[in-house]
Amino acid sequence: MSSDSQLTNADAQTTQEARMGGGTDNRFNSKLREAFGSSPFVLTKFDSFMNWVRSSSMFMLQFGIACCSIEMMHTYAVKHDLDRFGAGVPRASPRQADVIIVPGTIVSKFGPRMKRVYDQMPEPKFVVSMGSCTISGGPFQQGYNVVKGAEEIIPVDIHVPGCPPRPEALVYGVAKLQERIGEGETAPVTVKPYELEEFGDLERDELVTKLADDIDEDTLVMRYNWNDSP
Amino acid sequence: MSLERPRDRSQTVGVTDDGLDYDALADLLGDTVVSRETHRNAEAFVVRPDEVQDALFALRDEAGFDHCSNVTAQEYEDRFESIYHLKKYEDPTQEVSVVVPTSRENPVSQSAEPVYRTADWHEREAYDLVGIEYDDHPDLRRILLPETWQGHPMGLDYNQDKPQVVTLESHANPIADDHKEDGSDTMFLNIGPHHPATHGVLHVETVLSGEQVAHVDPDIGYLHRCEEQMAQNGKYRHEIMPYPDRWDYVSAGILNEWAYARTAEDLAGLDVPEYAQVIRTMSAEFCRIAAHMLALGTFALDVYGEFTATFMYTFRDREVVEDILEDLTGQRLMFNYMRLGGVAWDLPEPREDFFEKIRDFLDGLPEKLDEYHDLITSNEIFQLRCVDTGVLDAETAKQYGATGPVARASGVDYDLRRDDPYGYYDELDWDVITAEEGDNYARVLCRMQEVEQSARIIEQCVDLLEDWPEDDREIQSNVPRTLRPDEDAEIYRAVEGAKGELGIYIRSDGTDKPARFKIRSPCFSNLQTLPEMAEGEYIPDLIASLASLDIVLGEVDR
């Protein structure tokens, strides 16, 4: 049969050879392949593998607050191009993102909203706090309305200082975060004390008593205690 | 300046050849005036709190003060005070203030909202931060701070250490009742405060009827960083200047710094050397280009979702401008370059390289702008989305106190660089860009043409700076180490920021820190026009209108 003759033909190719033509394509002759030798398998721990995956394909939440977000946009844009580091897929929805860069001053009115956005992100999730405001309130720390750092509300992995940090600094911060994720070290996602409380659960001081008639007990609230803030 | 003024001054009360005759205005107001004050910028009439509307109507309709540029509220030991800063769109150098004192026990005064629509938000802010209540105000509730906030932080006896509670509530449909009866149902939609199209942390409470926008209520205050308090805690000489950079933070820093510099210099009677004025003018126009580039990129992003091409193009050009400004000021974005009485330092050495860099940028600009026109304005889809959407007519724009490209695209020929000259603008040859259509397209086109004009200004400044004799390069005048303006001196001064009239009111109490520092931000007034533009339009037109307003929340909320 003609098919038999083809099978026994000296030119018979494996499927791989048929796909690649004669010899291995140049593109496959990477350093990695050399290291692997003849075996196309790598043995590693699943956790290490996942850490490597997470650190190399980070989906960033498109999240702009203030001045820092302008520099963040520059970081995403031409010249700095965060994408080169495997960390540049901006997602508009928190449900599709695993890294949130907090770029700007957080004020009392925005605090609960940011908390909600953070809560909507799937785990594992990571936080980069960008700029002095998200570290401590920055130049506005003495203001009556300014939360003294993102860490009052959500757990932060990496702080990038500056007012605002240059795009290079943010790239460095993100690279450091990738390094840490790759090593499997990140801040634990803590539920308390960051959670919004129900109004009825608050300690009944003067303020809470005053508001008690106006606010439903089941209402989620955030309490800012400026005195105890760092 | 080469531009002749094409307007004839209408014969209104009080207008004379060399300014305003305040006595004639006082006669016009008659008995409503209790007394008169002199501020550094203009005369002020003190008006009874129950006759505010009479006085303002008279000033608007008979004396032609059609621009309520700012409302300042403040608290004294013995009274509360609202100051309405009135100007004319025709000639902003003609200004007058109306001062309304009320008692501390019962701080109620009549609302100016029926006279000037823009007073709506301004008075809400005054209520929120200072605690003055306005009678007949249509919607007197907090604007910047959360509803549950206790106390009025700009008041004298506010305790900043008290804990505060902020609620996280989903919003009910605000006009559900209006629509259910006639059988139609509406949908309430929250846009923001975290949304890529809101240009920051703006919350737009939108009610949709089908696909059309039935009602819009911009909810601001998510970036209220206490800028006024920060400025009041800083000393005039050095401690305030870093903050203006953070109002309109889209690289418009030097324009904002200039607003403070101009106000403080006029208050303290400081001169600025001519050389420094040229540098200021040049650097300010670079900031304007950077700001308009971002406006353009984000507008394209909002209108047809171009996170790739146009956005990247505009950011490429912004990087060039940022580089030049970094060479000049030593900082990216937050320049902190101006000083009272001049600028921080001279142009970078070697000057030739710096000038060459600028000229390279200017030479390449026309080509780049053609590219933008290819990409954006001549794009048919873009035109379909923008032409005749979000229309704002001139009268409405004036009622809301809109300024900058937003007003100019609606045919309001108002530019403080020409009409109230400062810096070196009146020595240079450039044009004010206006358009008649008042739609989204006109606003974008206006910004693109303003970039060309800015480039013209920069070119002339570079020519001047290149030939400036070396011995004559004075960058700062002699400024006292500690500035203590006269006690109770009050001033309101404005410059043309990237978004419009950026004004500052300062009251001095004789110390080295201002007693009241009030910022009039153009975005705050411009954003107020959003319901006028968007109601009745489709949702994407709402997004486009919002984008074409080019707001920066740092400046809206301050």
What tens digit of pLDDT does each residue of B44-100 get?
999 988 888 989 998 888 888 889 999 999 999 899 999 999 999 888 888 899 999
Instruction: Give contacts of B167 with chain A, Cβ < 8 Å.
Output: 112, 199, 215, 219-221
Distance CA B74, CA B84 (A): 12
Q: Please indicate whether residue A88 or residue B39 has the higher confidence score (pLDDT).
A: B39
Would A16 be classed as within a structural domain?
no
Instruction: Give contacts of B148 with chain A, Cβ < 8 Å.
Output: 211, 214-215, 221
Instruction: Give contacts of B249 with chain A, Cβ < 8 Å.
Output: 66-67, 70
Would A169 be classed as within a structural domain?
yes
CA distances from A20 to B24, B86, B178 (A): 93, 78, 69
Distance CA B164, CA B479 (A): 42
Q: Which of A70, A113, A139 is the closest to B194 by Cβ?
A: A113
Would A216 be classed as within a structural domain?
no
pLDDT of residue B22: 85
Residue type for position B453:
Q
- How many inter-chain contacts (A to B, CB under 8 Å) are there? 169
Domain of A107, CATH number, reads: 3.40.50.12280
pLDDT of residue A1: 43
Tokens of B157: 């006896």
Q: B285: pLDDT confidence band, cut at 50, 70 and 90? A: very high
Would A228 be classed as within a structural domain?
no
Q: What is the pLDDT of residues A113-136, one digit of tens each?
A: 888 888 888 888 899 999 999 999
pLDDT of residue B1: 44
Residue B537: half-sphere exposure toward Cβ, Cα within 13 Å: 25
Tokens of B267: 């208050």
User: Does residue A2 register a pLDDT over 50?
Assistant: no
In angstroms, the separation between the Cα of residue A81 and the nearest Cα of chain B is 10
Would A191 be classed as within a structural domain?
yes
Would A126 be classed as within a structural domain?
yes
Find the angle CA(B414)-CA(B417)-CA(B420) to the nearest 5 degrees: 80
Q: A3: pLDDT confidence band, cut at 50, 70 and 90? A: very low
Q: What is the pLDDT of residues B428-459, one digit of tens each?
A: 999 999 998 889 999 999 999 999 999 999 99
Distance CA B494, CA B311 (A): 31
Contact call for A67 and B201, based on CB within 8 A: no
Residue B354: name the closest of B470, B462, B475 by CA: B462
The 10 Å Cβ neighbour count of residue B324 is: 22
When pLDDT is averaged across residues B14-24 and rounded to a whole number, the result is 80
Q: Which of A143, A214, A221 is the closest to B168 by Cβ?
A: A221
When pLDDT is averaged across residues B197-213 and rounded to a whole number, the result is 86
Is pTM, for the whole model, over 0.95?
no
The whole-chain average pLDDT of chain A stands at: 82
Helices then strands, each counted (H, E), chain A: 9, 7
Helix (H, G, I), strand (E, B) or coil at B287: helix
User: Does residue B145 register a pLDDT over 60?
Assistant: yes
Q: Report CA torsion sign: B258, B264, B267, B269.
A: negative
H or E stretch including B209?
strand B203-209
Q: What is the ipTM of this complex?
A: 0.86
User: Does residue B10 register a pLDDT over 60?
Assistant: no
When pLDDT is averaged across residues B258-262 and rounded to a whole number, the result is 93
Contact call for B223 and A110, based on CB within 8 A: yes
Tokens of B516: 């009241």
Q: What is the pLDDT of residues B480-496, one digit of tens each?
A: 888 888 888 999 999 99
Q: Which of B153, B166, B322 is the closest to A221 by Cβ?
A: B166
Residues 6+ apart with CB under 8 A from B320: B361
For chain A, the domain total comes to 1
Q: B8: pLDDT confidence band, cut at 50, 70 and 90? A: very low
User: Does residue B6 register a pLDDT over 50?
Assistant: no
Q: Over pLDDT 70: what percentage of chain B?
A: 95
Q: A25: pLDDT confidence band, cut at 50, 70 and 90? A: low
Minimum CA–CA partner of A90 in chain B:
B307
The whole-chain average pLDDT of chain B stands at: 88
Instruction: Give contacts of B145 with chain A, Cβ < 8 Å.
Output: 108-109, 145
Residue A131: name the closest of A70, A79, A185, A76 by CA: A70
Q: Which domain holds residue A150?
A: 36-200
Q: What is the pLDDT of residues A35-70, one digit of tens each?
A: 766 666 778 888 888 888 888 888 989 888 988 999
pLDDT of residue B171: 61
Would A132 be classed as within a structural domain?
yes
Q: What is the pLDDT of residues A159-205, one digit of tens each?
A: 999 989 999 999 999 999 998 888 887 766 554 455 678 888 888 88
Q: What is the pLDDT of residues B149-171, one digit of tens each?
A: 988 999 888 988 888 888 887 66
Q: Please indicate whether residue B427 or residue A11 has the higher confidence score (pLDDT).
A: B427
Contact call for B221 and A107, based on CB within 8 A: yes
Would A130 be classed as within a structural domain?
yes
- Classify strands B133-135 and B79-87 as parallel, antiparallel or unpaired: unpaired
- Quote the crossing angle between the two packed helices B274-304 and B440-466, to the nearest 10°: 150
